[in-house]
Amino acid sequence: MIRLHHCPQTRSMRSLWLLHELGVDFEVETYPFDKTLRQEPYRKLNPTGRVPTLEIGDVVLTESGAIAEYLCEQFPEAGLGRDPSHFERAAWLNWIHFAETISQHTAALTQQHVALYDDAMRSPIIMQLEAKRLAKTLATVDAALQGPSLLASFSAADIGVGQAVYMAQHFVELTPFPKLKTWFNGLSARDAFQKSLPGDTRLYARDFYAPWPVPE
């Protein structure tokens, strides 16, 4: 039994996308992005009240990078992982976890633009700084791309980083990063990516949130 606990337009989307790419049977429990995650029965699975959480047999995993590594090890025939003897193993691991480097800045911007309920709580300075830091992570991906995938062929690295870019584009325009934009357009056309997109329940009400200007 494989069950993913998921909130639309959050990090758990990368686990959902990966499961669709693997072509395995799984169930999805979808939650709103609210206090439900901090209540029972979900809190027993993940006391931090965050997503994703993956149940696979008797194993429970709560970190998207660990989920990607574990699933690729369990289903090596899909070719989305890189085993320890593979010449791309180190680069694959680095990209799997670089997705979180991107996402930490997106999370900070999501808090500023979406989660805070009072404009007085929002900081234009933080918005500006985090948008610049996020853009720097995207520039890193753009500089590394040499073709339609991060490595020699499509892998879970593309899924992790691609999902992080999907989230990041709500706060940073992709146009200044032409290689990244072409790569992401290719990823977003994949059937498994389309299946992982949100339905009516969305975290982001708008497609793009520009940083507020810093008062003079």
pLDDT tens column, 131-147: 999 999 999 999 999 99
Nearest to 169 by CA among 205, 196, 141, 208: 208
| Section 80-94 average pLDDT | 98
Alpha helix (H) residue ranges in the chain: 12-22, 42-45, 64-74, 89-110, 124-144, 156-168, 178-188, 191-196
The yes-or-no verdict on residue 170 having pLDDT over 80 is: yes
Distance in angstroms (rounded) separating the CA atoms of residues 128 and 190: 32
pLDDT tens column, 27-60: 999 998 888 899 999 999 999 999 999 999 999 9
pTM attached to this predicted model:
0.96
Chain centroid, CA 179 distance in Å: 19
The yes-or-no verdict on residue 199 having pLDDT over 90 is: no
The yes-or-no verdict on residue 164 having pLDDT over 80 is: yes
What rounded mean pLDDT belongs to the chain? 96
Which has more pLDDT, 66 or 215?
A: 66
Predicted local distance difference test score (pLDDT) of residue 35 = 87
